[in-house]
Structure formats: C-alpha cells, structure tokens
Amino acid sequence: MNRYKVTKTLGDGTYGSVLRAQNKQTGEVVAIKRMKQKMYSWEECMKLREIQSLRTLIHPNIVKLKEVIRENDELHMVFEMMEANLYEFMKSRVRPIPESKVRNVMFQTMQGLHHVHKNGYFHRDMKPENVLISGDTVKIADFGLARQIRARPPFTDYVSTRWYRAPEVLLRSSTYNSPIDMWACGGIMAELYTLRPLFPGSSESDELYKICSVLGTPPQQTWPDGFKLASQINYRFPQFVPTKLEMLIPQSNADGVNIMLAMMHWDPSKRPSTAQVLKHPYFEVAMMESQQSQGVQSTPAPTALPAAAPETHTSRAAKPPQPSASVAQAGQAPPASLFGTRGSWKGDVSHPSTGKVDKEAGGSKGFNLPPLRGAQQDARNTSAAKKSPGARYLKMARYQPGMQQIPVPGRKDLPGLPAVQPHIGASLPPVRKDSALPETGGKQSFFGAHAARMLG
C-alpha cells in the first residue's frame, strides 16, 4: 500500500470500505476495496469468490482487478477507476436517455455477461449499481456473489437485489442458474428507458405482485415448475391480465420491447442466452459499429429469438386488458380479475371484489414470504424505510430495497405501491433526485454507491 496515496474515502460498508487512491509512481487513479475481515494467509485470500472469478474473467466489458495486496492481515483489492455507475448516470438525467445510448449500454453489458457465462460463471447480482460507465465504455462489476454454472445445487443463499430478482428466486428455488442474470438485464434495460425501476417491490410478495401486474399472471401450463415452487411455500399468484409493455415504455421500438419481454419470461428455460440476445435485430446497429471499430468487415446475419409459444406471456402481453361487459355498466364495481388480486397464502379468505386478504386487517400475517434459513438480507430494519421515496431509492446501493413509497391507506404496517396501470409512461417525471450518498455525507461520488453495495 506504500505505492498508493489515499485521497478520499468513497464508501464504508459492513464488510469494508472503498478508497480513492493514486499510484505515486504512475499517477493513475484507482479504487481500492479494503476488507474488514482479517486474512491470515494468501490461501485464504485466494478462496474469495470475487478474486477467483475476476482472475479468470478478463474482458473489455468487465471491471479490471489490477492488484491484490495483503498487508498487516488486511486485504486490499485494487480496481480500475470508473466515472460512475449506471444508477448514478440515470439519477443525473433530466431527459430520457436516447435509444442509441440505451442500445450501446445494453450491448456492452450483454457482451461482458456473455463472457461471464461462456467461462462458466453467472453474476447473481446484476443491477444498475453494478454496471460501471466511463464515457462510452460500460463494464460489469461486483462479482462477490458470482458462482460457477457447474456448481452443484442447492443454492441456499438468497441472491440479487429484490427489484431485479427473478421470479424463481423470489419463489425460493434452489436450482436457479444463469437465466436469473437475463431477467435482471431485462429490468435494467426497461429502467434505462423510463429512468425508474420496472418492478419496485417493497417485499418479496409485493415484487411478485408488481411483476404480475405488468406481465400478467403466468398460465400454469406455461411455467409448471413455478407453480410447484409456489405450492411449496403456500403462495398463490395474484390474478392479472398483462399490460402491454409498449404502453409502459413508449420510448422503445418494437425490437426493444420484444427483447425485454424475452429476457423477462416467467420460465427461466425459455429466456434467451446472451449469445441469442446479441444476435437480436435490436443490436444489429451496435454489432456493426463494434465490428467496424475492430476492423471486421463481415457481419453475421442477426438471429431472431426463439418464437414464443401461443400461451406464453409474450404473446399474451400483446393483448390489452379487456374489461368485461359488467364493468361498462355505470354504478357497478369492476371484477377483481381486472385490477388483479393480491397474492395470498393457502387458507386465506379474500374479499370477492378487491382480492385483499381478510387476515390483513389484523396485521398478523401480511404478505411476507416465509423466512429463508440463513441470510436475512431482507430483514434489515433500516431508517431509510421511513424516508421519502427518493431517499429510500438512494439507499438501494447499500441495502436491499425495502422502501416505503406509497403506504396503503389505513395501513401503517403494510407499505407498498399501487398496481402499475397501462397509462404510466414517459410523461411521468423521474422519481429520483440528486443528493449526497447516505454513507459519506458529502458530495456525490462516482464509485461509492457501487462500492458500498459490494461491501455490504
């Protein structure tokens, strides 16, 4: 560490801190991740998943681990410095991001992720904070949760940030794999267009509720494994007809909507691979530009994603919600199936018109999924849960999102968001606002939000 001059502390977390430093000899600015856990041997250091994966994954779209230093039983990881992470980039935007920029960001992200999957790993924590950006260069970071694809299940640790967590993980699957990264990328892509998260659930069941409100309730024949998982934890899917994604994300063209729906397929086995996504017509322009910059003249013909079955959510999403004839009559309440019903537990009695569980009034059960043995990431009781939506969203870099955005009327103990309605689009102003990072108390940094999440 004598070769580096520390100039600033960018973030401090449960497991360590991140420092901005400068190489005294070369003048290069780097980010140093200092772990709080004592490391008494190099063998112990080399067993860390982040170090193991980054030593293998060398790619222009993956953050570079420059050096590992063990000094006084403290471990320091030296990374290249990037200007900002994708969350900070979106937070600073006043106007929508041009589609060409969205395409470029996602193309580079998918290239990096393709290298990860091709080399036998999957990330398990894809989200805007873990995608770094400098100028036109995009790199994936934070491989602290990365696992090998060939690793034997069950995977008992509850991974990924809730807003980007795949349905099979929300339903406690222990055999999930690389498709969970594809789901997260679909949510990131949607957020790049709208500058707001697509599924900002305040709990696990609320996350599933918001997913259903957009994609519609999955048919049992489309995803039988999902219904088995739901049955094992006594969860019932809320009833929704799908909302057209074109209405929620009008800034995207048809190819963009198609690729987002494909990546966010309910059934993980039907989500496209990174190779298939990169060959999609949506990325044809980005592929040509990338090959021209590398001196390659021939361009492979783009390959469309696998056609969805007639009953998949992709084809169902093309149909707008159809109210029944009884809804059109004045003075009558709409049926529960039109607005959707809350997912509930086996044995609960739901109100026939609203779908709300009667036990909810007592406050004894709520909508929380059964607790998972082991990690208690979502049980953290943070002061940010009592703050404004913007302040809670800024905390996303450090804690699992569990914010209290819009309380349910009359229910102080049950935070949540209303169901996504078809008219929501680009006309709404962004919910985020600039402010200092909560862990530093100073000016907004470029690496701190990402780094703080890496460290806990």
Residue ranges for the binding site?
33
pLDDT (0 to 100) of residue 208: 96
* Distance between CA atoms of residues 455 and 86, nearest Å: 18
What per-residue confidence (pLDDT) applies to 300?
A: 45
Every domain range in the chain assigned CATH 1.10.510.10: 85-327+350-377
Give the helix ranges, DSSP H, for 272-424.
274-278, 284-293, 313-316, 325-328, 336-339, 389-394
SS3 138: strand
pLDDT at residue 11 in the model: 78
The DSSP letter of residue 128 is G
- The rounded distance, in Å, linking the Cα atoms of 130 and 93 is 18
Give the pLDDT confidence score for residue 426 in this predicted structure. Answer: 44
Looking at the chain, the domain(s) classified CATH 3.30.200.20 span: 4-84
pTM of the model: 0.66
Q: Which residues contact 84 (CB under 8 A, 6 or more apart)?
A: 92, 132, 133, 134, 446, 447
Per the annotation, binding residues for ATP are 33
pLDDT (tens, 9 = 90+) of the chain, 456 residues, equals 889 999 998 877 777 788 999 999 999 999 999 988 888 888 888 888 889 999 999 999 999 999 999 988 899 999 999 999 999 999 999 899 999 999 999 999 999 999 999 999 999 999 999 999 999 999 999 898 888 887 766 665 556 789 999 999 999 998 999 999 999 999 999 999 999 999 999 999 999 999 999 999 999 999 999 999 999 999 999 999 999 999 999 999 999 999 999 999 999 999 999 999 999 999 987 777 666 666 654 444 444 455 444 444 444 444 444 443 433 343 343 344 434 455 554 444 444 333 444 433 333 343 445 444 444 444 444 444 444 444 444 444 333 333 334 444 554 554 444 444 444 444 445 545 444 444 444 444 444 444 445 444
Q: Is the distance from CB of 252 to CB of 263 less than 8 angstroms?
A: no
β pairing state of 16-23 and 4-12: antiparallel
Distance, in Å, from the CA atom of 155 to the CA atom of 151, rounded to the nearest integer, reads 9
Mention the CATH class of domain 4-84: alpha beta
Q: What would the DSSP string read from start to end of 150-213?
A: TSPSP--S--S-GGG--HHHHTT-SS--THHHHHHHHHHHHHHHHSS-S---SSHHHHHHHHHH
In this prediction, residue 410 carries a pLDDT of: 54
Q: Which class in CATH covers the domain with range 85-327+350-377? A: mainly alpha
User: How high is the pLDDT of residue 352?
Assistant: 39
Question: Catalytic one among 12, 73, 125, 255?
Answer: 125
125 tagged catalytic: yes
Residue 70: which H helix or E strand, with range? strand 65-71
